[in-house]
Chains A and B, each alone.
Chain A
Amino acid sequence: MAKSEKSSVVIAGAARTPIGIKCGTLSSFAPEDLAVLAANEAISRSGVNAEEIDAAIGANVYQFTAPHTQDLYFPRNVGLRCGLRTETPALMVQRICGSGMQTVINAWQQIAMPPELDDASVILCFAAEAMSRCPRINRAPRRSGAEFWDFEQDGQVEDTILASLDHTLADTSMMRTADEYAAGVGVTRAECDAFAVESHSRALAAAAQSHFNNGDGLRGMFAVDTTAPDGQPVYLARDESARATTLETISRLPGLTKNKLVSPGNASEIGDGAGAIVAADRARAEALGLPCQFELVSYGVAGVEPRIMGQGPVPSIEQALARAGLKKDDIDLWEINEAFAAQYLGVEKELGLDRSTVNVNGGAVAIGHPLAATGVRLITDVMYEMDRRGVKYGCASACIGGGQGAAVILRNTAVK
């Protein structure tokens, strides 16, 4: 199949689920179920025939979600359930909070390869997380011999979410990295709390103006309108954790870190959600009659000191800008993950961002951070908002536990 002479990769379709609050409306679904919903929606929006898709790339960080799910087979199962051909391969990628974004980057790289190396030209990217179902696990080692398969009743049981919030190699935790980073750039607790209130307020305003409420916003989100595993109907058409709150309420919550910058009220919510993107070589997309309005321009992935992992977006954005030949002021709209208000504010300060162009519909502090799905959510949301506002360049970026960052820059080709 002929590809573009110069690598040009477009987003032919993108969609994301609403983010369910922990143990909320979406909590009975496995990551695979959520990903299938998102992938089918993205495929539908792109208009591509599922059998035309050449590869599937998926991301799901928290595996072995309860009960009895087969997360090991995540990308393969999603591909099969969405009607991709049996011959279509499926890959799982993992870059923790950047995993969703990584699916798009991997797709881009694969599409951009010369056809003699890889002729994939339409790739389904998806990511999902069901944090409400994250397991507690028994860490006891296996015994040898006949007892290999015995279940160790007295082994140490660990909460997988809590365990993953620590980065023991760096002797830190995600909360502490945000605290340390933000304190280092002069962010205050009051700023963190005010930002948290603003995130919720923006999210609520966006919901009120969404296309579910006769507005034109949040068109990247589709309503989950399906049947739960117990047979009962389920419906969700907004990000569930966004709520009306006040500075008084948020500031009363205890600071959990050394500099007290991080509190339960200004950290991102645990959530359940999924997103999917159909990425395609432009020539192929045009031949198939798929939308080609949004083009991937550049990406950046960079490492930072693990103890201040929140800084990750800074070098990765700079890398992406440099690769695209753009400056920060060329970017009209930003979606930067709010793992913590402190972490986001550190990035905002370091880069000197204009908040009126960042996370305009609220961010993870309000709507939640379903790890792997977040990257796809950021790209989807920035893309649809760019279209709504008629702006040219958008950037999605996230910090990554362990000390990394990822960023992707899009262009709206409908704008000159």
Chain B
Amino acid sequence: MKRAFAFGDKQLAPVVARVNAIKRVAVIGAGTMGQGIAIDLLQKTDYHVVLLDVLPEALKRAEASLAALWDGQVKGARIRPEDAQLLTSRVTYTQDYDDLGSADIIWEVATERAAIKAKIFEQIEQCADPASIAAVFSNTSSHTTAELAELFSKSAFREKFLTVHGYFPFESNRLLDVMKGKYASRDTYALGVVFGDQILEKTVIALPHDLHGYVTDPIFQGMGAIVSWDIHTADDLMHLGGLWEMFTANPFTVLDQTGHMPYTESSRHLGQALPTDNRLRSLYERNGKYYPDYIEKLEKNGDTGVNSARRLGFFSWSEGPRSKPECVYDAASGSYVPMNEISRSAYWSIFEAAQNDGRDGKIKSADSLLFVARADDEGGKAFRRYVLPICLYALDVIQDGLATAGQINVSTRAGLRFKVGLIELIDHMIGEMTIDGLLDLARRAQEENADDEYMLDMLDVDGQRGPRKGKPCLLHDLKKRNVTHLLGYGSNYKTPVAEWSITSRQYEGFYPELKFYAPSAKDRVASIVFNCPMRGNVFNKAAIDQLNHAYHRVLDLHQRGLCGGVLFSAAGTGMRMLGADAREFNHGWFERSKGYVPLQGDQARQSSQCAVDLFRMIQTSPVASIGVFGEKWGGGAEFTYYLDLRYDVRQEGLAFDTLDRQMVYGPKATYNQPELDYAILPGFGAAGELKRLGFGDSIAFEVFDQGMTADRAYQVGLSNGVFDEELDALHRGYERARLMAKDAPYSRALFKKQMARGIDDTALADETAAVFDPHENPYVSIGLLALLDRGGRVPKMNYQTSGIPLPGWTYPDSAGGMADGGPRDA
């Protein structure tokens, strides 16, 4: 979205105002990351982007790259030629630091080397005014924010400085780390989070405390580093690097694709800078070396990956755009040799587990990982030797309050593309083995590695040696508190919906696919924003589970008198809501040659039932609801039919005119029900709900056959408000929710009950008697005073509903949001 919204958080309002005043962002470094950031900013905002580089060739390459991108989009009819021209005109390519002077944000993505960053920061201090600049960002893989902030001489710049770390490719990777450190002010930190979250539309891992390399880099770096010291031959590189393909990818393949410099630079830095209580310290410093000799040799030879002169690195790479590894580096001989397959007999557990998972050579489940973890073969030993320390490190990070369980899980899933999130794996291991079993597994690994002092340090769980001496592993604390899982899992599909908090010692909602804004005491409006814009905010299993958990929190707050209304919306430009995630519910893309493999009837029924039950709860509950959305498809549109009010943002774009046979720019439908084209019918109730809303066949058919623009929907009464600007729609929607939240709970519940019932005059008379009886409706005396009393001050409404039966409504079991443990609002 081009502008940010505070969702009723008054403390956030000044930060949001500053974000919305941003007009110009300067990016220092026109390499791959700098280009990606520029593209993302140009596509998602109306900012002017300044791309600075000291090398004119780099600027030329960037300019050509962006031009090619817009060209491709014009050819693909995704944008018009005049849009491409506008995008091009919004970029300044420069070598002059003076061009940074008027930037609101300066973002350095030029280098990992601190010495060069220092020179860049010196230039920034000379040309920028810390009082007027919103923030300075820097991308880093291994430094802390404080370390980099200290490269500024002025405290005023340190306060405005954050590390902000994106993933390649920036414009299409959803993860973004924002790390505060001790120097950055709280406002700067809040600004970085809002900017990343609402403007860049990323899933932000917000870290208030410094952590070298955020969450992901120590894990990814650790994956490579921990095996690297044991690699002596080509087979070692294949086997040990390949071990990580159980989770994601061979780190050495990835390093060849990104280049080795970030890895070697990071290792050098981490070897010097990691805190003494970091159990992975010894991965980055052994007898004065930051990484093994063969890596140093490759670096010296310039053989740092697929983009090196000889296309050599840990592998030799084929020519052409889809380059593949051809041979593997043999550290013993210094030559490249054919890649041998991993020994099936030595690593039978990995092969067996992969077969059980049903995909050739690929493990994809926690069950399989656990199978390997317990096996007696080389695969099991390797898992215990190399994977367990990484798991223990993740637990240390939680224990030290540096990141949360949910953040680690999302980071490994979205950032490192783990098939099973690291914390989900740990939870699964605890669930299957108990905490004692997992501790014993670590001790078994210690026995297996008894002659390796480094490994013994990394595998310590009892706080008896090494960097964690005196700090027994978090597992001991969990055991003492009878906590058997670090994540809370949704009651429908068992996807993560909550995380156990080390500070509050209870489960708190954690939603990678949603954002939940708690109601303020004054407004009593919660906001739930679907927050996966890169995937169009589809309704997948995770979204359903998270929405269910979040809404149970809303009901809990309502019962306590703290929430009277909910604003629903969708993040991302266009505020799009797509429907059910067809790929997920149908277990992946089907093979064209085999045709469609039918979804089992029970599964289809279950997925519909889960969603409809949830939507019906939202529809019938006494909590007022309003949706503010743009373009809606299928289940995304259906969801809005269950809300009390719908506000729409007009959409425009290119569409193919079937008569004129060309792309035409004009209004786009905001209500789209394409199901009939796909030989299905809406599973979340569109047809029935449109009827319930009072629309006849003609309107229903129009929605299904033609789609409806916002204006047409408003004309027929499907939409209750139409806006040109997303921010305007949110302001109005929030204000409407705030006013709706003032309704007395009894009356709102009765209103919904009557609306759902239809005509029943006897019931109506009984209900009228009840509504005026203060024993039935304790809110009536205060409510009517507001109407009748012209003289005195009307007492404030008490919204608590505990112990007061509301007509037509029963609160669900408070444990309904989470599989075991219930929602707890912190």
**A interface vs B, CB < 8 Å?**
24-25, 204, 207-208, 210, 212-214, 223, 225, 230-235, 237-238, 240, 244
Contacts and interface: CB of A to CB of B under 8 A. Distances in A.
A183 to B, nearest CB: 27
B503 to A, nearest CB: 8
Contacts, number: 43
Nearest to B132: A244
B393 interface: no
Contact of A213 (B154, B185, B186): B154
Interface of B: 130-131, 146, 153-156, 159, 181-183, 185-186, 208-210, 400-401
A230 B153 CA distance: 28
A144 B21 CA distance: 63
Contact of A231 (B156, B186, B401): B401
Given A25-B186, A204-B131, A208-B131, A233 B146 contact: yes
Given A213-B155, A223-B155, A238-B159, A233 B182 contact: yes
Top 7 nearest A-B pairs (CB, nearest first) are: A212-B155, A235-B182, A233-B182, A213-B154, A237-B155, A213-B156, A232-B209
Contacts of B156: 207-208, 212-213, 238
A238 B181 CA distance: 16
Contacts of A24: 186
A205 B458 CA distance: 51
Contacts of A231: 400-401
Given A204-B131, A208-B131, A234 B182 contact: yes
Given A208-B130, A212-B154, A213-B155, 20 more contacts: A25-B185, A204-B131, A207-B156, A212-B155, A212-B156, A213-B154, A214-B153, A214-B154, A231-B400, A231-B401, A232-B182, A232-B208, A232-B209, A233-B181, A233-B182, A237-B155, A238-B156, A238-B159, A240-B185, A244-B131
B161 to A, nearest CB: 12
Contacts of A223: 155
A214 to B, nearest CB: 6
A206 to B, nearest CB: 12
Contact of B155 (A210, A233, A240): A210
30 contacts: A24-B186, A25-B185, A25-B186, A204-B131, A208-B130, A208-B131, A208-B156, A212-B154, A212-B156, A213-B154, A213-B155, A213-B156, A214-B153, A223-B155, A225-B182, A231-B400, A231-B401, A232-B182, A232-B401, A233-B182, A233-B209, A234-B182, A235-B183, A237-B155, A237-B159, A238-B155, A238-B156, A238-B159, A240-B185, A244-B131
B156 to A, nearest CB: 5
Contacts of B208: 232
Nearest to A232: B209
B340 to A, nearest CB: 48
A140 B522 CA distance: 29
Contacts of B401: 230-232
B210 A233 contact: yes
Nearest to A213: B154
Contacts of B155: 210, 212-213, 223, 237-238
A375 B75 CA distance: 71
Contacts of A234: 182
A219 B131 CA distance: 20
A204 B155 CA distance: 13
Contacts of B159: 237-238
Contacts of A214: 153-154
A383 B400 CA distance: 43
A251 B209 CA distance: 38
A238 B209 CA distance: 20
Contacts of A207: 156
A25 B188 CA distance: 13
B210 to A, nearest CB: 7
Contacts of A210: 155
A208 B153 CA distance: 13
A57 B159 CA distance: 35
A207 B130 CA distance: 11
Nearest to A210: B155
A240 B210 CA distance: 21
A266 to B, nearest CB: 18
Nearest to A224: B182
A48 B87 CA distance: 65
Nearest to A244: B131
Contacts of A244: 131
Nearest to B209: A232
A386 B210 CA distance: 39
A230 B400 CA distance: 10
Contacts of A232: 182, 208-209, 401
A358 B186 CA distance: 31
Contacts of B130: 208, 213
A368 to B, nearest CB: 15
A213 B157 CA distance: 9
Contacts of B131: 204, 208, 244
A35 B155 CA distance: 23
A337 to B, nearest CB: 25
Most chain A CB within a 10 A radius of its CB, from B131, B159, B182: B182
Nearest to A21: B186
A223 B209 CA distance: 19
A90 B481 CA distance: 43
A67 to B, nearest CB: 14
A244 B210 CA distance: 28
Nearest to A24: B186
